[in-house]
Structure 1
Amino acid sequence: MEALAVRLSHLDAEAEGAIRVVMFYDTLMRRRVDLPALARASAGLAECVVGIRLHGTGRTVRASPDGREVSAPSSPASSSVPITLDDEEIGTVWLERPGPPGPLDEAVLDRLAIAAAAVAERYGPARTTMADPALVELVISSGSDEAARARALRLLGFGPDLPVRVVAVRSRLPLDRIGALLCPARPVKAAPLRDVGVVLATTVDTDRLPPEVRAGIGAAKSPDRSWQQARTALRFTTPGRPVVRYDALGALALLAEIPRNAVRDNADIAAVGCVAGHAEDLATLEAYCATGSLRRAADVLHLHHSSVARRLEQIGKTLGFDLTESAGLTRATLALTAWRLLDG
């Protein structure tokens, strides 16, 4: 220690200050402080407002030199440094110094960024359902390599030993509420992605979903494949079948891979489009295809079976084949399903 003290005595003031900054943050990291404590200590050291933001959670912490959390609108950052973890930018730290930068500001920010990355890795993301869409897209993108996907999952709060299920959702309900309903007691993250909501969950309980929520559930272990499956399953949802699991589709999933032009040009599907112009006829066709029985369809529609029989006869004339025959029911079911996929 004496030798170290002698060496330090020969350093100039700026170099000595930089070493003290390093020692200051080493002490904080040994004490395993959280983000607010890290911000407060840094603000006291820098003698100005300090800010920390994590992209994955959207959380921002700002502290003043007196140790208080600052909630007022932030002043322009006088200097900033990205927080990186495993070569990926996960946030930003900054100083809000009213005057020119101090001689040790760069050293403070560098060590603060390293400490913030360690805190983020140690404590994980905040327990919120909504997540950064960029991180979620990194998880489900087919263009992501496995290392990047693993880092994104870790930043979202999913451990390497946890299974991740992917759900594609359309609903007027907030995504965070849907995520909480699907997976109330285990890690779950949600984010909007273009026209669809994405939910990443360790378990999926669809019985808790309100009937107005449309959800497609992927089956693959890999999140990118599971996302494609979830999108496909979502296309098969209907008002009467609002939740569809990809693995329950079986061979029907192949219909989603048929080019749209080929579907549009098919005579059976075009005929279903004509039937769909009449709400009662469409409801009758859907009930009959779903139940495979005239009497069960009548029960679903709350009609006498003779009334349903007359409707099916008229629908059969529009379609050009007999719905009461086994082959006719199969054709109608496939045509109706493909028409719904085309209609979106």
Structure 2
Amino acid sequence: MEALIERLSHLDSEAEGALRVVVFYDTLMRRRVDLPALARASAGLAECVVGIRLHGTGRTIRVTPDGRQAPVPPGPASTEGPIRLDEEEVGAVWLERTGTPAPLDEFVLDRLALSAAAVMERYGPATTTMADPALVELVISAASDEGARARALRLLGFATGLPVRVAAVRTRTPLDRVARLVCPSRPVKAASLADVGVILATTLDPEGLPTDARAGIGGVGSPERSWKQARTALRFTSERRPVVHHDGLGALALLAEVPTGTVRDNADVAAIALVAARSDDLATLEAYCAGGSLRRTAELLHLHHSSVARRIEQIGGHLGIDLTEPAGLLRASLALAAWRLLDDEEPMAGTGRSR
């Protein structure tokens, strides 16, 4: 291998160099190297620091051209590219070259990424974030027995006894990317069930969610209960409140147990539906219920508090509720929450499929 690296350092043309790079990585693959060996060989070839990072575990390998662990903090990447496995981005590779990139850096990086994906597929357990939907459904379904649930969790890469939290997500962003954003360094799996994305993780950081996402997050404990909680919490999300933790709903979660027909026939909920036809009125009412005062509502809406006061008086007239009274504010808040549930009716138990 050292002789091949030496020959590659004296390329007489870019085309010949590219061919030799292909032979170099083919040789490495035949020798069934692991990721550290792949990084060391690549650093020797590129004559600069080479880095490999795995999204699923957070593992990072950085090696100098002499095969040693690179010092921290890392230098800026001169060239970087994704590692893809089954069309999913599962990691990244990069070169930390000072000065001008070498002519074959992009080609070397491409072959390094392909080789890293092959190594991960050969040696890595459950490297991808996206999971078999059937396994995920076994984990979250109330109909599964504990033995089947435990086996499914093991197959998904979760250790026995490890607490798992479930999130129900709606987003236009690819679900594997969302899963890595909310759980970048711990075990995490995701699958789409009908129109709902399911994320299983040991920890979840909702701050990482993309701006277009809405998410309901269940509590830690049995996955089937956490899924039910996450599904309920998702129904309470809104544009102003895109992430809802079931633990934070408290008694409001009881509204999800009320039959849809009963909610729809309630006079206050019917009045909210009429107010919602006017987007400005709906936004004002939402902000008022969230802020609890005219001044706070004015801050949220970036309006003068006198303008907000006029709007609240008009909305209260439409609802037949005195919104300036604490009891009236509570009544409107409950009606607004119940009305939102009509927009996202209860999915079928265990599957996430809507009626």
Give your verdict on TM over 0.5: yes
Please list, as runs of the form range in 1=range in 2, the aligned pairs for 1:99-114 lying within 5 A after superposition: none
Q: 1:7-37: per-residue Cα shift (whole Å, max 9, x none)?
A: xxxxxxxxxxxxxxxxxxxxxxxxxx99xxx
Gapped regions of structure 2 (runs ≥ 5)? 1-31, 34-122, 345-355
Structure 2 match to 1:218 = 218
Q: Equivalent residue for 2:322?
A: 322
Aligned length, in residue pairs: 225
1:124–1:155: 8 Å Cα contact kept in structure 2? Answer: no
Deviation at 1:194, TM superposition (A): 1.2
Report SS of the residue matched to 1:254: helix
1:142 is aligned to: 142
Which residue is equivalent to 1:79?
A: none
Letter of the structure 2 residue corresponding to residue 149 of structure 1: R
Aligned to 1:178: 178
CA distance in 2, matches of 1:210, 1:191: 17
1:282 aligns with 2:261: no
Q: Does 1:336 align with 2:336?
A: yes
Counterpart residue number, 1:305: 305
Instruction: Give 1 or 2 for the bigger CA radius of gyration.
Output: 1
Structure 2 letter corresponding to 1:246: H
Identity of aligned residues (%): 72
Equivalent-residue separation in structure 2 for 1:247 and 1:269 (angstroms)? 24
Pairwise mapping of residues 1-344 of structure 1 onto structure 2 (< 5 A)?
A: 125-344=125-344
Matched residues in 2 for 1:326 and 1:279: separation? 24
- Normalising by structure 2, what TM-score? 0.62
CA distance in 1, matches of 2:158, 2:323: 50
Q: Matched residues in 2 for 1:128 and 1:333: separation? A: 42
- Give the Å deviation of 1:161: 3.3
The residue that corresponds to 1:12 in the other structure is none
User: How many angstroms does 1:126 deviate by?
Assistant: 2.6
In structure 1, what is the Cα distance between the partners aligned to 2:252 and 2:245? 12
Distance 2:326 2:234 in 1: 28
1:95 maps to what in 2?
none
In structure 2, what residue type is equivalent to 1:180? R
**2:137 alignment partner AA:** E
User: Per the alignment, in what secondary structure is the counterpart of residue 249 of structure 2?
Assistant: helix
Q: Distance in 1 between matches of 2:206 and 2:161?
A: 23
What amino acid is aligned across from residue 243 of structure 2 in structure 1?
A: V
Amino acid in structure 2 at the alignment position of 1:284 = T
CA contact (8 A) 2:173 2:210 kept: no
Deviation per residue, 1:31-83 (Å, 9 max, x gap): xx99xxxxxxxxxxxxxxxxxxxxxxxxxxxxxxxxxxxxxxxxxxxxxxxxx
CA distance in 1, matches of 2:340, 2:226: 22
Task: Output the CA distance in 1 between the equivalents of 2:155 and 2:148.
Answer: 11
Which residue does 1:5 correspond to in 2? none
Contact persistence 1:183–1:201 (CA under 8 A): yes
Equivalent pair of 1:162/1:202 in contact (CA under 8 Å): yes
Alignment TM-score, normalising by the size of structure 1? 0.64
- In the alignment, the residues of structure 2 paired with residue 331 and residue 157 of structure 1 have an alpha-carbon distance, to the nearest angstrom, of 46
Larger relative contact order (Cα-Cα within 8 Å, sequence gap ≥ 6)? 2
Q: Structure 1: which 5+ residue stretches go unaligned?
A: 1-32, 35-122
- 1:252-280 Cα shifts (integer Å, max 9, x gaps): 00001100000000000000000001011
What code does the residue aligned with 2:257 have? Answer: E
Give the Å deviation of 1:163.
1.4
- CA RMSD after TM alignment: 1.7
Give, in whole Å, the separation in 1 of the partners of 2:343 and 2:196: 16
Q: Is the 8 A contact 1:124 1:157 kept in 2?
A: no
Corresponding residue SS for 2:190: strand
Between the aligned partners of 2:192 and 2:218, the Cα distance in structure 1 is 17
